[in-house]
Amino acid sequence: MKSILITGGAGFIGSHTCLLLLEKGYIIFIVDSFINSSDQSIERISTILKKQGINIEGRIYLIKGDLKKKCDIEKVFEMSFTLQKNIECVIHFAGLKSVFDSVRKPINYWENNVNGTINLLKVMEKYNCRNIVFSSSATVYKINTSEPVGENDPCQPVNPYGNTKLAIEKFLNDLYKSQPNSWRIACLRYFNPVGAHESGLLGECPLNRPNNLYPRITRVAIGKIDKIKIFGLDWPTRDGTCIRDYIHVMDIAEGHLLTLDHLLKEKSQFLTLNLGTGKGTSVIELIRKFEKVNNVKIPFSFDKRRIGDSPFVVADNSLAMSILNWTPKKNIDDACRDGWNWQLKNPNGF
């Protein structure tokens, strides 16, 4: 059984990935500062697995720690050595992710995301662990208007959050080139992860007010927000609202498992892959879909464009599909149903 360190494993995408890793038999060490999550997500993972009859004794270790402190990361690696469960690979989710906050607090974002990653890589090198999967984002791409983006398309983020993601990708690439035949690195550029685990026990639970469309829709449906303000009706798209590539969080989680398999069995490499569905959905289409699938009403009104938005962000996902043999299995209906199921069962989060 391989041991994997999951940074930010209590968060939205991290927790769904931890669940799959445990289902597949991995030993996992989770380090999280809980700045945007709680340990309840880990409790829920245990509940789901217990229901499935999967024994996780001795396979899950949760450590409260902050990547900004190198000693916190060292503690985790020490622990894995002491337990003789040496960490073979890191899946690095930990990061701050609000575009809006990043504009107001760039120091926090650079310190947390970039310094945190540098600390992590220093400790990994010290402990001879040179395999990492990094959570990057479609936000690194240069704004375009109508074509799906491929991994070789130009990158030009327009906010501090995106700048930190691209900076980390470049840092990882420098590291890879400094010691060829040593590092195995994958940067996964997620598009718009939505939905929740089908049990309704695990889902997105940000501690701060969400800025993203999907969690706002579920909050309108449950009555915590009055209505959705749609940012712009004058975009050059089929209905005038922005188009995004919404991908079910379980498909993203599955992408991590396949990336892990791929990295650990292949030779040293640096990979960049889009994780998206390749299908675009407009803001109005997503709202209508959510209403139809769940038989709920989502009031909305139109507001001016949001600064820094792009009319069209859809993945060319052909590289991930061919390299990983990965195909998104769930569609937007599944995401709408599962996200609503989660919100209904947990109106106040965990």
- Decide if residue 166 touches ligand UFG (CB under 6 A): no
Quick check: 34 binds ligand UFG (CB under 6 A)?
A: no
Total residues at the site for ligand NAD (CB under 6 A)? Answer: 29
Amino acid at 201: L
Residue 34 to residue 18: CA distance in whole angstroms: 15
Choose the contact partner of 306 out of ligand UFG, ligand NAD, none; CB within 5 to 8 A by kind: ligand UFG
Minimum distance from residue 338 beta carbon to ligand UFG (Å): 17
Residues 6+ away with beta carbon under 8 Å from 128: none
Give me the catalytic one of 109, 127, 141, 161: 161
Selected binder of ligand NAD within 4, 6, 27, 94 (CB under 6 A): 94
User: Site residues for ligand NAD, window 10-29 (CB under 6 A)?
Assistant: 10-14
Cβ 250 to ligand UFG, closest distance in Å? Answer: 17
116 binds, among ligand UFG, ligand NAD, none (CB under 5 to 8 A by kind): ligand NAD
Structure tokens at 144: 């375009």
For residue 225 the two structure tokens come to 């927000």
**Partner that binds at residue 75, options ligand UFG, ligand NAD, none, CB closer than 5 to 8 Å by kind:** none
The interface mask with ligand UFG, positions 63-102, x = CB under 6 A, is ----------------------------------x-x---
How far lies 257's CA from each of 75, 130, 250, 340, in Å?
25, 17, 11, 25
The contact pattern for ligand NAD, residues 132-151, with x = CB under 6 A and - = no contact, is ---x-x--------------
Q: Between β-strands 281-282 and 243-244, what pairing exists: parallel, antiparallel or unpaired?
A: antiparallel
Contact call for residue 4 and ligand UFG (CB under 6 A): no
**Of ligand NAD, ligand UFG, none, which one sits near residue 213, judging by CB under 5 to 8 A according to partner kind?**
ligand UFG
Asked if 161 is an active-site residue, the reply is yes
Which phi and psi angles does 273 have, rounded to 5°? -135, 140
Between vectors from CA 113 to CA 107 and to CA 119, what angle results, nearest 5°? Answer: 110
Looking at 44-52, 82-90, 148-156, 206-214, which segment touches ligand UFG (CB under 6 A)? 206-214
Asked if residue 63 lies in contact with residue 105, where contact means CB atoms within 8 angstroms, the answer is no
Q: How far is the CB of 147 from ligand UFG (least distance, A)?
A: 15
Q: Which of 113, 61, 117 is nearest to 84 (CA)?
A: 61
Which among 60-68, 226-234, 283-291, 317-325 is the span making contact with ligand NAD, rule CB under 6 A? 60-68
- Alpha-carbon distance values, 210 to 114, 176, 335 (Å): 23, 35, 17
37 in contact with ligand NAD (CB under 6 A): yes
Could you tell me the sign of the dihedral formed by the alpha carbons of 214, 65, 254, 147, in that order? Answer: positive
Selection from ligand NAD, ligand UFG, none that 159 binds (CB < 5 to 8 A by kind) is none
Cα–Cα separations (whole angstroms), residue 96 to 71, 111, 170, 241: 20, 10, 18, 27
CB of 128 to ligand UFG, least distance (A): 32
- DSSP sequence for 36-62: S--THHHHHHHHHHHHTT---TTTEEE
CA–CA distance, 178 with 229 (Å, rounded to integer): 47
State the catalytic residues. 161
Which residues contribute to the site for ligand UFG (CB under 6 A)?
Answer: 97, 99, 137-139, 191-192, 211-213, 216, 228-231, 242, 244, 283, 306, 309, 313
Which residues contribute to the site for ligand NAD (CB under 6 A)?
Answer: 7-8, 10-14, 31-37, 66-68, 93-97, 112, 116, 135, 137, 190, 192-193
